[in-house]
Amino acid sequence: MSLLGDDGRGYDLARLLESCGVWREWLGGSTYASFVHFLSSPSAWESFMRIDDSTSRAQIHLQLRCRALLFDKATVALFLRSHPTNAANNNSSSSTSSSSIDVSKLNPNYLQLHGDDVYFTLEGSSQDGGAASNTAPSKSKSSFSAGSRYVEPEFDSLSQRYRNDELRETWYNQFIEKYKLTRPYKLSLGDRESEKRTPEEMTVYLRTLEKHKRRRVAFQDDLHTGYGNTGLDGNTSVDDDTPFFPETMFLMNCVPDSPLPPTTRVRDKKEIEFFGVLDTLPQVSTRSPVMIERLGIRPEYLNMEQGANINRGKTPRKHLSQEQASQVSRKVIARLLTGVGFEGATEAPVEVFSQFLSCHISKLGRNLKVLTDNYRKQCSAIELIRMFLQTSGYSNFGALAELIKDGTSNLVQQTQQQMHAIQTQLQPQHQNALRMAQQLQMTRQMHPQMQQMVHTQNLSFQQQQQLERMLRRHPSTPCPVMDMADKDRPLVQVKLENPAELPMDNKSSNPINARHQQMQFRQQQLVAMSSLHSQSNNQFRQLLSPQIPQTMNMGGVVRAPPVKVEGFSELMGGDTTLKHEAEENKLTSPTTTK
């Protein structure tokens, strides 16, 4: 330890302590008188610090007390890492000059005795009946807080230790006596006892302790380089006299049960809507002239406010269970296989394929989640979608656009083919069975209210019986969407997909005949429904609107109907009230159309 010199006796440090008047305080008046002459010269100091057979017990005790204080003040050198003073001293060749340099740089305030520093005197515990003293010199802190059960016995042992000791005038006794006179016992911080200190109070206490340590800097350079940072010079300031007794034992109950800070605000229970980055996709900048100019229809999502969600305000969708989802997956696979060209499939491939479908959707969902979670701040919604398409292998979404186009054009083509087929061939075979099958399909597409009306009012008794027989015979719907579709949703979406199913479901019949019967039935239904016009809803109007305005008789003249795409208004979406009114007029007076 460089502050004690090479010989370890610390003569320079002792001289510096003497200049600060610390020895008198530490040893007491009577003891100081016998000690002070040892500081006159290095040789006297060396003789004082030397221990041999001739040294008396009292001198050894005195030496121990001096060593304790010297060691305590010199320990600051152990904690210096890159102090500039130390670095300069290490490079110096002269040992005495290095120690003198270190000592001279010490802060006088640091050399003073403070009540929060405990200097164990290295004396044996055999003399006192109290607690054993610490044999190793250490700069430990003891708590002087009143009310703590760890403190008062210790303090009592301290005072007890020196009660019968010859060194009565110890610094601690004097300090405590003086402290008792000037200030009553007070806890270091807070009004509560240390064991009841809250975590916040503990934090404040630790901050105060840190501030206190910073004020007690060891070297004068630290004061000016900012380590002291309070502008204090070496003199004792009012702040240093502030009684601050650091605690040595931090009781466990100051550790909070939860790392989260306690909140006192009232919990707001109202639901907060969270908008994800993909919730507000950009709206269409260009409006389709077909939709607007011809039909006056505006897509539903364009009606929403900018940035609003498309589905907000709608009724909540039905949630599928696991079993329902797997069942729907199998039906979807069956339809896809049919669309591709398969005529059948065994059970195992359908099961495997449906699981493959679900896994693929889940995989796409995971990709979307990863992209949105990681890039929602850096990228916009469109960029995220582009990234998603790239990860899915559709960086050029032309293939998807082609699929959509093909799907839409196929529907139009099929409808047109139906029209032509009906014009050319009229073969009334299997009328009743097919009519009932189609009626079953149509009624399932209708609104339940209208369906009830159809059942009760407009169908003849025979037709009703046949319908019931069909219902009993075919409980499952051929179209998976119909089961899962919400009742409020327009069912015309299903209708668009269904026309291809009719030939599949009735393989024994002529597909062209089936289409013809479908048209016939629709005409009949329309006449029946005209009486219920006032009670119908918009959905039903949309369903009826694309009816072919023709009067086809069994053996009559076939008039060429106007080319019309079935369900065109449903393709475009929106309200078709205006269109429906025109259609109604056409229906009631078919002779006017050509």
Q: Does 21 bind another protein (CB under 8 A)?
A: no
Distances in Å between the Cα of 103 and the Cα atoms of 56, 229, 237 are 30, 22, 22
- In the list 17, 481, 502, 514, the residue contacting another protein (rule: CB under 8 A) is 481
Residue span binding another protein (CB under 8 A) among the ranges 243-251, 415-423, 456-464, 490-498: 490-498
Does 345 interact with another protein (rule: CB under 8 A)?
Answer: yes
36 and 23 Cβ atoms separated by less than 8 Å: yes
- Min dist. Cβ of residue 278 to another protein (A): 5
E strand or H helix at 387, and its extent? helix 381-392
Is residue 500 near another protein by the rule CB under 8 A?
no
Instruction: Output the smallest distance, CB 506 to another protein, in A.
Output: 18
- In the three-class reduction of DSSP (H, G, I as helix; E, B as strand; rest coil), residue 310 is classed as coil
Q: Does 37 bind another protein (CB under 8 A)?
A: no
- Is there binding between residue 493 and another protein (CB under 8 A)? yes
Rule CB under 8 A: is residue 282 a binding residue for another protein?
Answer: yes
Quick note: the x/- pattern for another protein over 401-430, rule CB under 8 A, is x-xx--xx----------------------
Q: Does 339 bind another protein (CB under 8 A)?
A: yes
- For every residue of 473-531, DSSP letters joined together read H--S-S-HHHHHS-TTS-THHHHHHGGGHHHHH-TTS-HHHHHHHHHHHHHHHHHHHHT
Which is nearest to 439 in space by CA: 424, 459, 418, 461?
459
For another protein, the binding residue among 78, 181, 340, 560 (CB under 8 A) is 340
Cα–Cα distance measured from residue 175 to residue 491, given in angstroms and rounded to the nearest whole number? 94
Q: Does 292 bind another protein (CB under 8 A)?
A: no
| Distance from C-alpha of 273 to C-alpha of 80, rounded to nearest angstrom | 56
CB-count burial class (<10 Å; 0-12, 13-18, 19+) for 493: middle
Comparing CB distances to another protein, the nearer of 80 and 571 is 571
- To another protein, the closest distance from the beta carbon of 338 in angstroms equals 10
Interacting positions 533-572 with another protein (CB under 8 A): 571-572
Given a contact cutoff of 8 angstroms between Cβ atoms, the answer to whether 92 and 1 are in contact is no
For 430, half-sphere exposure in the C-beta direction (CA atoms, 13 angstrom radius) is: 16
Cβ-based nearer residue to another protein, 282 or 428: 282
Near another protein in 251-280, by CB under 8 A: 276, 278-280
Closest CA to 148 of 159, 139, 156: 156
Q: What's the min distance (Å) between Cβ of 298 and another protein? A: 12
Nearer to another protein (CB atom), residue 196 or residue 360: 360
Closest separation in Å from C-beta 83 to another protein:
56
What is each CA distance from 517 to 412, 428, 492, 584, in whole angstroms? Answer: 19, 8, 20, 21
Residue from 125, 173, 392, 551 in contact with another protein (CB under 8 A): 392
CB of 201 to another protein, least distance (A): 42
One of 32, 175, 375, 394 touching another protein (CB under 8 A): 394
Of the residues 167, 357, 528, 532, which one makes contact with another protein according to CB under 8 A:
357
Binder among 114, 141, 386, 559 for another protein (CB under 8 A): 386
Q: How far is the CB of 219 from another protein (least distance, A)?
A: 59
Distance, in Å, from the CA atom of 355 to the CA atom of 508, rounded to the nearest integer, reads 33
* Binding to another protein in span 296-335, by CB under 8 A: 299-301, 309-312, 317-320, 325, 328-329, 332-333, 335
When the beta carbons of 119 and 353 are compared against another protein, the nearer one is 353
Give just the sign of the alpha carbon dihedral 443, 481, 496, 285.
positive
Q: Can residue 372 be called a binding residue for another protein (CB under 8 A)? A: yes
> Which of 362, 585 has the CB closer to another protein?
362
Q: Is 60 in the site for another protein (CB under 8 A)?
A: no
For residue 497, state whether it binds another protein (rule: CB under 8 A). yes
- Kindly list the distances between the CA atom of residue 477 and the CA atoms of 254, 334, 505, in Å, as whole numbers in the listed order: 68, 13, 11
- 270 burial type by CB count under 10 A (0-12 exposed, 13-18 middle, 19+ buried): exposed
Taking CB under 8 A as the rule, does residue 379 contact another protein?
no
The reply on whether position 281 binds another protein by CB under 8 A is yes
Exactly one of 186, 192, 369, 473 binds another protein (CB under 8 A); which one? 369
Helix axes 322-340, 347-375, angle to 10 degrees: 110
